Amino acid sequence: MLSTHCTPAQTAVLQTLQRQHRPLSAQSLYTLMCQHQRIGLATVYRSLDALKRLGRVQHRATLEGEMLYSAVEADHHYMTCLHCGQSFPLDRCPLKAIEAQLQGSSSFTIYYHTLEFFGLCEPCAIQMDGISQSLSL
């Protein structure tokens, strides 16, 4: 437990995550990995937790409260629509400079960050506009 190297399961989970282009839930990760190797659901959760505390894996929560995991190398962020739930990726991470600055001015060691914008996508904004107009006729 105090060892500094990864267990076989942790390595497998990390490698699987690194192959993905999108964040995955623990459940999907489990389903995916089961197709290629023998692994238990609990081990997937345990590995994700360990990797998270090692700073190798980052997480974000969906609107439904499910956790999505991704390798820290994939520093991606999204704008998520509160109406339809769709997530739209940002071009690039806008926090590089800010994180560096924070590192300098505080004794906290930053491994990674989560950043997400919430609001309305264009179609949903138009749709809701139409609804409120039809109400005020």
Partner DNA sequence: TTCGAGAATGATAATCATTCTCATTTTATG
Partner DNA sequence: CATAAAATGAGAATGATTATCATTCTCGAA
Nearer to a copy of itself, 41 or 120 (CB): 120
Q: DSSP string covering 29-50, please? A: HHHHHHTTS---HHHHHHHHHH
Task: Single out the residue of 44, 42, 58 nearest to residue 111, CA to CA.
Answer: 58
Binding-site partner at residue 42 among DNA, Zn ion, a copy of itself, none, CB < 5 to 8 Å by type: DNA
Task: Confirm or reject binding of residue 137 to DNA (CB under 7 A).
Answer: no
Binding track over 107-126 against Zn ion, x by CB under 5 A: --------------x--x--
Instruction: Look at residue 68 and give its three-state secondary structure.
Output: strand
Report d(CA 102, CA 57) in Å as an integer: 20
Residue in 2, 19, 38, 137 binding a copy of itself, rule: CB under 8 A: 2
- The residues in 25-54 that bind DNA, with binding defined as CB under 7 A, are 25-27, 38-43, 45-47, 49
Per the listing, tokens 């999108």 go with 22
In the complex, the residues that contact Zn ion under the rule CB under 5 A are 81, 83-84, 121, 124
